[in-house]
């Protein structure tokens, strides 16, 4: 317990927020610094095959300690944290929660983590939680995944009686801005399959995710003196509001759950003369996903007819696709994770990812890669927290996956 917590807190203190406006890889230098630090730590615990490339991708191998032929399994987590909150420092703290009582994250700023706002807290009564000081996100997404993989690997090295085949490790940059798989060398990684440790609460296993696209809309207005603007002025901000009002009102993140998709306006910046809007579009179902994109195109076309050609410019790019069709072809890798969870006393909870992971893109690049829990909650916010026992169980799960694969190979019968 102490090792995984200590690791996580050390890693979390390093501000590795990615930057979508940067053209470098990794997009922030701290990610490369963390990758090199982790490489040194891996060498210190006994891993000899470790590399970090100029783009910040760390790869390493725990060599087999048995002559038995087994598939090569990989474990992957990402180095960066969300840029959603602009922060200068991360100050993790360990607290305990009592039933119905809020956790004071920052007394000076009156920031509290309350079970009234987040009822899931009542599931962890009496457990130590790692939280931030309320002035930043915690970075459990995905420093917890890194800490859990590192601790599991160290445990396997210290317990050679657990016979296993080769285990591959990768830590990737810039996952939070959708670039985590851009320069991932699947051939070099050379694993039969892998798992991303990038999920939420204990027991989560995910092999379905959103289909995803991003859209950038620029609206060109015409600014004139308001006293003589009749039938001439085009206020780009009002056109932007009109555009947003033409989208389905209840297909937004705050009105959707489970398999329901959405449009999400992530930013808007404008004046009478010009306005820029950024959206992300998400849906698990490919047909619904395509229809969402088609609707946005039709709205842009309609507004150009109404206000004149070139008033609305829409640029839309697909980001990633639902990994389900790639994972179903190799479903025993899901069964293996489910069996490992059950073996260490975890109740598996198969659920879709309402987002994406590096694993989604990697699955389409030839590396099937379901997503497993880290234990964290409220990712990307100042209210992020992770129960320590959940982190410990994640370590046990990784070790058990490796052990079962070495002992029995992949399950032959679908369990889920």
175 is catalytic: yes
How many Å apart are CA 119 and CA 114, to the nearest integer? 8
How many Å apart are CA 138 and CA 136, to the nearest integer? 6
403 is catalytic: no
How many Å apart are CA 247 and CA 311, to the nearest integer? 18
The Cβ of residue 287 has, within 10 Å, a number of other Cβ atoms equal to 9
How many Å apart are CA 194 and CA 369, to the nearest integer? 5
**Residues 370, 206 contacting (CB under 8 angstroms):** yes
- If residue 317 lies in a helix (H) or strand (E), which one and from where to where? strand 312-320
- If residue 269 lies in a helix (H) or strand (E), which one and from where to where? strand 262-270
Q: Write phi, then psi, for 298 (nearest 5 degrees).
A: -65, -40
* Largest CA-CA distance found in the chain, in angstroms, rounded: 85
How many Å apart are CA 78 and CA 174, to the nearest integer? 7
Which residue among the candidates 174, 175, 198, 251 is catalytic per the annotation? 175
* Catalytic positions, written as ranges: 80, 175
């Amino acid at each position: 317990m102490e090792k995984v917590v200590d690791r996580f807190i050390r890693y979390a203190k390093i501000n590795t927020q990615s930057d979508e406006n940067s053209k470098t890889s990794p997009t922030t230098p701290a990610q490369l610094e963390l990758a090199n630090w982790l490489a040194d730590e891996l060498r210190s615990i006994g891993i000899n095959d470790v590399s970090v490339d100029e783009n910040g991708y760390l790869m390493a191998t725990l060599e087999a300690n048995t002559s038995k032929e087994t598939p090569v399994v990989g474990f992957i987590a990402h180095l960066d944290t969300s840029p959603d909150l602009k922060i200068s420092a991360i100050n993790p703290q360990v607290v305990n929660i009592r039933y119905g009582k809020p956790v004071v994250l920052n007394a000076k700023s009156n920031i509290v983590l309350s079970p009234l706002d987040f009822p899931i807290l009542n599931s962890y009564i009496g457990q130590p939680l790692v939280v931030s000081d309320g002035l930043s996100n915690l970075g459990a997404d995905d420093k917890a995944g890194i800490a859990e993989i590192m601790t599991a690997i160290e445990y396997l090295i210290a317990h050679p009686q657990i016979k296993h085949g080769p285990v591959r490790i990768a830590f990737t940059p810039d996952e939070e801005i959708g670039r985590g798989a851009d320069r991932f060398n699947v051939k070099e990684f050379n694993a039969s399959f892998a798992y991303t440790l990038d999920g939420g609460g204990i027991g989560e296993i995910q092999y379905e995710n959103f289909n995803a696209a991003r859209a950038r809309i620029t609206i060109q207005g015409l600014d004139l003196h308001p006293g003589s603007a009749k039938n001439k002025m085009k206020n780009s901000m009002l056109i932007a509001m009109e555009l947003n009002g033409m989208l389905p009102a209840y297909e937004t993140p705050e009105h959707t759950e489970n398999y329901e998709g959405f449009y999400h306006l992530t930013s808007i910046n404008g004046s009478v003369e010009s306005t820029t809007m950024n959206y992300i579009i998400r849906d698990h179902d490919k047909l619904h996903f395509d229809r969402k994109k088609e609707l946005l195109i039709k709205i842009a076309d309609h507004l150009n007819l109404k206000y004149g050609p070139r008033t609305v410019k829409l640029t839309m790019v697909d980001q990633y696709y639902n990994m389900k069709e790639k994972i179903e072809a190799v479903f025993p890798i899901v069964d293996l994770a489910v069996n490992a969870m059950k073996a260490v006393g975890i109740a598996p909870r198969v659920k879709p990812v309402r987002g994406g992971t590096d694993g989604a893109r990697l699955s389409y690049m030839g590396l099937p890669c379901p997503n497993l829990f880290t234990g964290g909650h409220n990712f990307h916010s100042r209210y992020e927290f992770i129960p320590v026992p959940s982190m410990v169980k994640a370590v046990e799960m990784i070790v058990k996956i490796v052990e079962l694969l070495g002992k029995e190979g992949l399950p032959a019968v679908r369990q889920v």
